[in-house]
Structure 1
Amino acid sequence: MSNVKCSVNLNRTKLIIFGITGLFVAILIFALVFGTKQSPQTQVVGDILVWGVIDEPDIINQFVVEFKKSYPKVNITYQKKSANTYEKDLINALAAGRGPDIFYIHNTWLPKHADKIFPDYEEYMTVNSFRDTFVDVAYNDFVLGDEIYALPLYVDTLALFYNKDIFNSVGIANPPSTWEGLLSMVPSLTKKDSSGGISRSAIAMGTAKNIDKATDILSLLMLQSGVKMFDEERMQTTFDQRTMENDIEYPSGQQSLEFYVNFSNAKKSVYTWNNQMPYSIDAFLEGKTAMMINYSYQVENLRSRAPHLKFGVSLAPQPKGAQQSVNYADYWGLTVSKTSKYPDVAWFFAHYLMEKEQSTAYIKMASKPTARRDLVNTQRNQERELGIFAQQSLSAYSWYQPDNIAVSKIFENMIELTASGVSALSAITDAARKIDLLIPHP
C-alpha cells in the first residue's frame, strides 16, 4: 500500500515539474517572439511620393497622419498637380525615373498606361475580392486578366440637373425619367424671341463646343441604345455599324448621334440649342437653360457660384421600356508606378485608403459618390444629391478608349460636323476610322 502512495506522489511531482517547465518555456518563447522581434507595423518602411490631380493636400494628408500612427517608418508625401498638364508631366517624370510611387489614374487611361504600372499583389486583394468590393465598372476598367492595375477612389456618373423655378413656372412638377418624357417637355421649357432665336433652352444638348461633357453624353446615349463600341478583341471600332455577335444584333450609333444633334437642328420640333448659346454651365447658372447633364462635382460648383439658384438633381434619363438602367462613369483611381522602389508599401497604403472606414471619411470630405458596394445604400439614404450618383454607380458603364483625349476630340468633331449639315452616317464612319488609327497593334 505504501508503494502505491509513493508512486502517486511521484506522478504528481512529475506533473508539477512538467507543468512548471512548460510554463517557463512558453514564457521564454513569448519573450523571444514579442519582446525582441519588431511588430509588423514597425517593419513597414519606405518613402512614398503620391501624385494627385483632384484632391487637395489637406484631404489626403489627414489619412497620411493616421497611417503613420501605425506605420511610423513610412514617409508619405502628397503633391497635387495641375489638371491641365498632369498626364504629360506624369509621363515625363516616369520616363526620367523621378516619378511618383503612387499616382492618380483616370478610368479610361489603362489602355495607354498599363505598361507603366506595377500590378497589385494578390496577397492584398484577389480579383474576386475586387469584384465583390467595388462596383462593376471599376472591375471592367481597372482589372486586366487576373491582375488588378488600380483601385477606384470613387465612381461618378452623369445625372440630370434641372432648374426648379423654371419647371414650376411652366407647371412641370417633376424632372423626366425617360428620354421620351424629356422630349415632350422641350416645347414648354423652350423660349424663343420674336425673331425665332432661343432665349431659353430646355436642355443643353445638340452641339459640342459650348456643352460641357458633350462627348460623354453622346457615349451615354450610345451605351443606353445597346451600341457595341468595339469588337471583342478591341482591335476595331464597331459603333458606326450594326453588328451581330452570339446571335445578338447590336445597333449602330448613328441613331444616337442624330438624336443628340436634333436638339440643335432648327428644322426639328425639339430644337432648343445652338452654338450661339452660352457655355452650358453658364447657361444653367444664368437660367438660360432649364436642364443640363453633368457629374456630381457640379453640385458644389453651382452652389458656390450661385447660392440662390434653386436646382435639383435626378437620375439620368433612360430609354422608355428599358429592362435595366445604363449610366456613364467618370472617375479616378490609385495605382502604383513600375519604377517605385517600394511597390509593396505603396500598394499597402493604397489599400489602406480604400478600406471601408477610410473610404467613408474620404467620400464625405471630398464630396464624392462611393465606389464601394457596401457604402452605396448608406450614401443613397443619407445624402440627397450624392445619393443619386451613388445609386447610378451600380449600373455605370464606360468603354474602351485607346486614347481618351484623342477620342474626345474625334467625337466633338463628329458632333459638330453633323450639326453643320454633314450626314450622320458620313460623320460617324469618319470618326470610327480615325479612332481605329489610335489602336496599338502588336
Structure 2
Amino acid sequence: MFNKLRLTILSIILITIPLMGFGCKLFTNNEVKELYKPISLKWWGVWEDSAEVETLISAYQAMHPNVTIAYRKFRFEEYEEELTRAWLEQRGPDIFSLPANYLKKYQNLIKPLPASMKLPFLELTGVVKKEPTIVVREITNITPKKVRDAFVDVVAEQVIINNQIYGLPLSVDTLALYYNRDILTKAKIPLPASTWAELVDQAPRLTLFDTNGNIKQSAIALGTDNNIPRATDILALLMMQNGAQMIDGKGFATFNLAANDSSFFPGINALEFYLNFSDPNKTVYSWSEEMGDALSLFMSGKLAYFIGYNYQTPIIRAGAPKLAFNIAPMLQTVPDVQEVNYADYWTLSTYFGTASENIAPAWDFIQFATTNTEVLNLYLTKTNQPTALRSLINDQMQIEGLDIFADQLLNARNWYRGYQPNEVEEMMNDLIYQAKHNLNSKYTITNLLNDIIKRINTTINPE
C-alpha cells in the first residue's frame, strides 16, 4: 500500500504545477539560494488522524523537500482552549483548523491569503536526461472569484471576508436523514419520508408509548435543545426551507421578519413546527427533554429517524455494528422546487504571527491540499468525506454512502456571519428552551424571537 501511494504521489508531482499554478514566473538561482532553506510547519486540527493527512503532507513534501509539516490532533473539547493558549504564549501553529463560522471570531489572528508568493519547487528538467532541479516560481494564488468558481457556494459565503480569503476547506458536510430500516418495516412504511409532510403523517405510526404514557420508541428527535445534537442547525434549516431570510446584506439576523411584506412569518412558523414534536398535545408528539441523547437512542434502536451529518456515520457503525440503518436525503418542504440543505465545515488557515518565511509555504500547502483534485481525492476516499470542490461532486455521487451528501452540496447553506458563534449558538438553544417553557399571553413567541434577534445582532460587528 505504501509503495502504491508513493507511485501515485510521484505521478502527481508531474501535473501539480498546471493544477496549482494559477499563474507563475520562473526565477534565477539567486532566488533559489534565498528561498530554498529548511522550513518546519506545525499543523493543528481536530478531526483528522495523522495517518489520514499523511497523503496530503507526503504529496506536498515530494514537491517541496525543504518543507516538513508536523500534524497534531486534539480532542474537540480541548482544542479551542489549547489554541488560544498557544497564541497567547506565541507558540501557535502555522496552520490550524477552524469551524467556518469561527473565521470572523479569530479574523485578527489569521493571515489572509496573499495575492502571490515566491516558492521553490522540485522539478525534473533537461531535454535528454531528466534530472531533479530546484526552481523558484512566483505563484499567483487563488482569488475570491476562483474560490466561487471552484468551491460550492457556502464556502465563498464564509471564507471570503472583505474580499480576502481567510481559510479553505478540505470537505463540506451536510445534514441528512438517518433511518432505522427495521422500525420502518415493522410499521409497514416502505420508504423513508422525503418531506416534512410525510414525516408528520408517519410520526404517530412510529412513536410507541408504555402504559404510563412515556415514549419507548420515538419517530424522530425534534422539539428540544438539550438532547439533540446540532439542534440549532436543524432549526435554522427548517427556517430556511420555510422561506425565512436568515440575514440581510450586512449580515444582521432577520429571521423574525415576515416573508415578502406578507402576514406570514416563516421563522416563527418553523419554530412552532419544531416544538410540536415535543408537545404531548400534538399528534406528532415523539420526543421530550427527559429522553436520552438522540444519537445514542438511534444507535440503541429506539429512534426511527435521526438527523445528522456524514461525520456521524462511523460513530454509528462503531457504536452499533448490528444496527440496520440507511441514509436518505434531508427532509424538504417542497422537494424538486426549492431544495435547501444545511452545511457545516472546517477550514484551514494560517496564523498571522507565524514566521515570515513560513507564511508562503503554509498558505501554499493549504491551497495544494484543498484544490489539487488528484491528491485531495485520495484523502477524501481514505476518510470517506464529502468534497468541497464542485469538480469532484459527480464522482462522489457514484460512491455509496457519500452519494446522498454529495448530491446536497450545491444547495447547502449556512447563515451566521458574526464574531461570537459560541454565544449565538447558546442564544438559539435559549430560543428553543424559552419557547417551550416561558411563553404566556403577555410574552408571546413573537416577543421572544424579536428579543433573540436583538441579542444576536449585537454580535455581528466587532466591539
Q: Same fold (TM over 0.5)?
A: yes
- One-letter amino acid matched to 1:85: E
In the other structure, the counterpart of 1:3 is: none
In the other structure, the counterpart of 2:133 is: none
Q: Structure 1 residues 75 and 248 mapped into 2: Cα distance closer, same or farther (>3 Å)?
A: farther
Question: Does residue 1:397 correspond to 2:413, yes or no?
Answer: yes
Cα distance in 2 between the residues matched to 1:157 and 1:396? 7
In the other structure, the counterpart of 1:428 is: 449
**1:180–1:320 CA contact under 8 A, matched in 2:** no
Per-residue deviation, 1:181 = 1.0
Question: Does residue 1:351 correspond to 2:344, yes or no?
Answer: no
Alignment of 1:40-439 (within 5 A): 43=36, 45-122=38-115, 123-234=140-251, 236-242=252-258, 251-320=265-334, 323-341=337-355, 342-354=358-370, 355-381=372-398, 383-402=399-418, 403-420=420-437, 422=439, 423-439=444-460
Q: Percent identity?
A: 35
Q: Deviations over 1:43-64 (max 9, x none)?
A: 3752211111111112123332
Cα distance in 2 between the residues matched to 1:70 and 1:40? 17
Q: Deviations over 1:145-174 (max 9, x none)?
A: 322111111000000000000111111111
Per-residue deviation, 1:251 = 3.9
- Classify the secondary structure of the residue corresponding to 2:42: strand
Q: Structure 1 residues 35 and 408 mapped into 2: Cα distance closer, same or farther (>3 Å)?
A: closer
Larger radius of gyration: 1
- One-letter amino acid matched to 1:384: E
Per-residue deviation, 1:395 = 0.9
Cα distance in 2 between the residues matched to 1:48 and 1:64? 11
- Classify the secondary structure of the residue corresponding to 1:302: helix
Cα distance in 1 between the residues matched to 2:453 and 2:214? 34
**2:42–2:93 CA contact under 8 A, matched in 1:** yes
Higher mean C-alpha deviation, range 397-406 or range 183-192 = 397-406
Per-residue deviation, 1:376 = 0.7
Q: Structure 1 residues 114 and 243 mapped into 2: Cα distance closer, same or farther (>3 Å)?
A: farther
Cα distance in 2 between the residues matched to 1:248 and 1:145? 33
**2:39–2:66 CA contact under 8 A, matched in 1:** yes
In the alignment, structure 1 segments of 5+ residues that lack a partner are 1-32
Per-residue deviation, 1:76 = 1.2
Per-residue deviation, 1:353 = 0.9
Cα distance in 2 between the residues matched to 1:371 and 1:248? 36
Cα distance in 2 between the residues matched to 1:312 and 1:40? 57
- Classify the secondary structure of the residue corresponding to 1:339: coil
Cα distance in 1 between the residues matched to 2:218 and 2:207? 5
Per-residue deviation, 1:137 = 0.4
Higher mean C-alpha deviation, range 86-95 or range 258-267 = 86-95
In the other structure, the counterpart of 1:6 is: none
Cα distance in 2 between the residues matched to 1:424 and 1:361? 49
Cα distance in 2 between the residues matched to 1:283 and 1:34? 61
Q: Structure 1 residues 317 and 297 mapped into 2: Cα distance closer, same or farther (>3 Å)?
A: same
Q: Structure 1 residues 326 and 34 mapped into 2: Cα distance closer, same or farther (>3 Å)?
A: closer
- What's the C-alpha RMSD, in Å, of the aligned pairs? 2.4
Higher mean C-alpha deviation, range 132-141 or range 67-76 = 67-76
Equivalenced residues, count: 406
In the other structure, the counterpart of 2:135 is: none
- Classify the secondary structure of the residue corresponding to 2:219: strand
Per-residue deviation, 1:67 = 2.2
TM-score, length of structure 2 as denominator length: 0.82
**1:410–1:435 CA contact under 8 A, matched in 2:** yes
Q: Deviations over 1:96-145 (max 9, x none)?
A: 32111111021111221112111113312112211111111001010123
Q: Deviations over 1:188-225 (max 9, x none)?
A: 11112223221111101111101111111001111112
- One-letter amino acid matched to 2:193: P
- One-letter amino acid matched to 2:106: H
Cα distance in 1 between the residues matched to 2:304 and 2:45? 34
**1:198–1:273 CA contact under 8 A, matched in 2:** yes
In the alignment, structure 2 segments of 5+ residues that lack a partner are 1-25, 116-139
Cα distance in 2 between the residues matched to 1:227 and 1:87? 32
